Structure 1
Amino acid sequence: MTRPSLETVTDRATAALVGLAIGDALGMPTQSMSRERIATTYGRITGLRDAVADQPIAPSMRAGSVTDDTEQAVLVARLLIAGGGHIAPAEFADALAAWEKGMADRGSLDLLGPSTKAAISAIQAGAGPQDDPGGRGTTNGAAMRITPVGIAFPSTGGSLAEAVVEASRLTHNTGLGLSAAAAVAAAVSGALDDPGLSVLDGARSAADAAAPLERVGNWVAGGSVSARIRWAVKLVAGLPEADVLDALYEIVGTSVASQESVPAAFALATRFADDPFHALCLAAQVGGDTDTIAAIAGAILGAHHGMAAWPSDVVGQVLTVNDLKPEPLVEGLLGLRHERLR
């Protein structure tokens, strides 16, 4: 495999972060709503939408606004860069707690997810990393914010899995939480390593990368993330669009559980690999944890396709509305990556 050019890697890394934000923004108005309610309230999702006044998490939020998925990914990116590729647990806990306080002060209902909230509450009550505050964290919070780790670490050499655990165990120290994060990080990193890698082959490699981490951290009952990624991808292959959404909503599941939402994101990314923006629009209308499913799918597809995947007007709106500046983050994260490739 020929090492890709810096220009190609930079384009794809930027598209992964921007794709995460676009998916997040598309799913913002529909998050935590049933598929039926989304259809009644919004109809088909074909672009960025304002949230309705009775949106359960983001009432009346402006079109293009991101949620905790993007904001926590940016937080992870900044901590990784500042720490030279490492995130100190105490610093991470303080940063997450400060982030939630800032959100609450602004009147937002989009606060820490259940696994992260429980871990941070334990730390604020005096628990240290040795007390394993993330020992019951099984939801998708680690997976939704792990994309910067996939950018900062190459997929070969073993350092990626170690970095995933370091960035996730504070809040999601279970086989489910860690393996889900590993799958997303590996999908992003693998696409940066090999521009010729198909989205389908990347998903298979990501499932391979997830499997060893199912035996790391605490065991909690739940289907194998690795096995369910493979199964979900096969389940939707070749299905008509409406049947794909039925299968994800009714069979795979679209909740915050890692073993549901992460396989759902991979299934959409592989089934609609050649139409990335449409894949994210479908994620936004599938129901359940739409913002996270769309954000993960956006990171994966951006890493494979580069910035050409995303409509320029949508990119401009999301970056402007949220005052996002991905370039310095990408530069810092790729600096870490290139150190490990020398």
Structure 2
Amino acid sequence: MKRAATGSLIGLALGDALGFPTEFNDVPAILATCGPWREMALPDPAYITDDTQMTLALSRGLRTATDRGLLGPKRLERPLREEFVDWYQSPENNRAPGNTCLKACYLLKTGKPWEEASQVHSKGCGANMRVAPVGLAPGLTDEQRAGAAQLQSALTHGHPTALAASDLTAHAVRLLAEGAEPTGLVGLLRSYAYENRETYHERWLGELWTRSGDASPRAFIARGWDECLGVLERLRDALRSPSPETDPCLATGEGWIAEEAFATGLLCFLMFVDEPLTALRRAACTSGDSDSIACLTGAFAGAHLGADAWPTEWTGRIEHGAELREFGALWDA
């Protein structure tokens, strides 16, 4: 067994920790501090950020929901709300968390319906950076996986592009975990986006679309998928003539918003499919949201290559490594 779930969860945490010190810096500043990007070392101690913290929160909520029976929106929303509020109140929530997550989780804490807490005008990357567990958990139908990916986004980031990018990210992780060839991945993702372009998961999202000003639920969700399709075009163009020594953000965006974080993280992985540490280092040495980009790169690389992709001298130092491996073992089994 390649242990795809373990590889993906450990990989995303390693990318998160590697990109933590470089976030908010441009590439020249990173090179001046860290030296050549291909030789970047994992910080010691290897602290994670809110990216992995919220991935673990989602993992716990998803485990609780599936332990209680068939996964559905109400069964997922209740434990997920509790986990997100616990994260919001945690003293460890001091790793430069995003404003959208903070505002939405505060509103969730007050007991407001999640639809009122959702920040419908935010498509920040805070939802799809944490969605990998939805792509890794076994036994879900396509409808459950898409609905869960979008609902976990909607609790904080209710913009249609945040929903679509979270769904697309979970789908990419799932495809790679199941053995899809990386060379055909972009084509598979484009097909998935076209197939789902007008699919509004009303069972999971309720009347969220009415808070956006769109004319219909189909128009609402299509707006998000269209932005994802646009960035997939940019990704396909970048892969036609890849430039490993050039900042990937110049091709697919700086990653502060959902669709760009997805595409730039995927670009770093696809440029170095068989060199996962090089992929992480390239993702961490970027001018944008380096920890989130590298987090996504690690999730993709680990899902594709499995747990043995990561050297023990790195994995043994990652913060919360035991809990990450616990979830990996659960879902790999």
Shorter-chain TM-score category?
0.7 to 0.9
Q: Match of 1:77, as an amino acid?
A: S
More deviation, 220-229/119-128:
220-229
Is 1:287 equivalent to 2:287 in the alignment? yes
- Residue 256 of structure 1: aligned partner: 256
Confirm or deny: 8 A CA contact 2:262 2:296 kept in the other structure.
yes
Is 1:30 equivalent to 2:22 in the alignment? yes
- Residue 217 of structure 2: aligned partner: none
Confirm or deny: 8 A CA contact 2:269 2:297 kept in the other structure.
yes
- Residue 171 of structure 2: aligned partner: 186
CA–CA distance in structure 1, aligned partners of residues 296 and 100 of structure 2: 18
Q: Match of 2:36, as an amino acid?
A: R
CA–CA distance in structure 2, aligned partners of residues 249 and 241 of structure 1: 11
Structure 1 length-normalised TM: 0.80
CA–CA distance in structure 1, aligned partners of residues 149 and 260 of structure 2: 20
Residue 144 of structure 1 aligns to a residue in which SS? coil
User: CA-to-partner distance for each residue in 1:91-132, whole Å, 9 max, x for gaps?
Assistant: 423322321322xx35x6424312222322333455312435
Q: Across the two proteins, how many residue pairs are aligned to each other?
A: 306
Gaps of 5+ in 2: 201-208, 213-219
Confirm or deny: 8 A CA contact 1:27 1:294 kept in the other structure.
yes
- Residue 82 of structure 2: aligned partner: 94
| Pairing of 1:168-183 with structure 2 (within 5 A) | 168-183=153-168
| Pairing of 1:61-210 with structure 2 (within 5 A) | 62-84=44-66, 85=71, 88-102=76-90, 105-106=91-92, 109-125=94-110, 127-131=112-116, 133-153=118-138, 157-193=142-178, 195=179, 197-210=180-193
CA–CA distance in structure 2, aligned partners of residues 213 and 129 of structure 1: 24
More deviation, 296-305/306-315:
306-315
CA–CA distance in structure 2, aligned partners of residues 191 and 13 of structure 1: 10
Confirm or deny: 8 A CA contact 1:150 1:186 kept in the other structure.
yes
1:158 to partner: Cα distance: 3.0
Classify 1:214/1:20 alpha carbon distance in 2 versus 1 (closer, same or farther; 3 Å): farther
Confirm or deny: 8 A CA contact 1:192 1:304 kept in the other structure.
yes
Residue 127 of structure 2 aligns to a residue in which SS? helix
- Residue 14 of structure 1: aligned partner: 6
Gaps of 5+ in 1: 1-6, 51-61, 336-342
User: CA-to-partner distance for each residue in 1:134-153, whole Å, 9 max, x for gaps?
Assistant: 32231111111101100115
- Residue 4 of structure 1: aligned partner: none
CA–CA distance in structure 1, aligned partners of residues 280 and 23 of structure 2: 13
CA–CA distance in structure 2, aligned partners of residues 204 and 68 of structure 1: 31
CA–CA distance in structure 1, aligned partners of residues 158 and 104 of structure 2: 10
Residue 31 of structure 2 aligns to a residue in which SS? helix
- Residue 229 of structure 2: aligned partner: 226
Classify 1:158/1:128 alpha carbon distance in 2 versus 1 (closer, same or farther; 3 Å): closer
Residue 171 of structure 1 aligns to a residue in which SS? coil
Q: Which runs of 4+ in 1 moved over 6 A?
A: 220-223
CA–CA distance in structure 2, aligned partners of residues 266 and 154 of structure 1: 25
Classify 1:241/1:113 alpha carbon distance in 2 versus 1 (closer, same or farther; 3 Å): same
Confirm or deny: 8 A CA contact 2:255 2:262 kept in the other structure.
no
User: CA-to-partner distance for each residue in 1:10-61, whole Å, 9 max, x for gaps?
Assistant: x1111011111111111111112222221222222324344xxxxxxxxxxx
Q: Match of 1:24, as an amino acid?
A: D
Q: Match of 1:176, as an amino acid?
A: T
CA–CA distance in structure 1, aligned partners of residues 187 and 117 of structure 2: 31
1:182 to partner: Cα distance: 1.3
Classify 1:172/1:67 alpha carbon distance in 2 versus 1 (closer, same or farther; 3 Å): same
CA–CA distance in structure 1, aligned partners of residues 231 and 134 of structure 2: 23
- Residue 204 of structure 2: aligned partner: none
Residue 242 of structure 1 aligns to a residue in which SS? coil
Confirm or deny: 8 A CA contact 1:77 1:333 kept in the other structure.
no
Confirm or deny: 8 A CA contact 2:131 2:170 kept in the other structure.
yes
User: CA-to-partner distance for each residue in 1:183-241, whole Å, 9 max, x for gaps?
Assistant: 21111111222x2x212322332343345368645449887123312422331443332
CA–CA distance in structure 1, aligned partners of residues 227 and 18 of structure 2: 28
Q: Which has the higher relative contact order, 1 or 2, with Cα contacts under 8 A spaced 6 or more apart?
A: 2
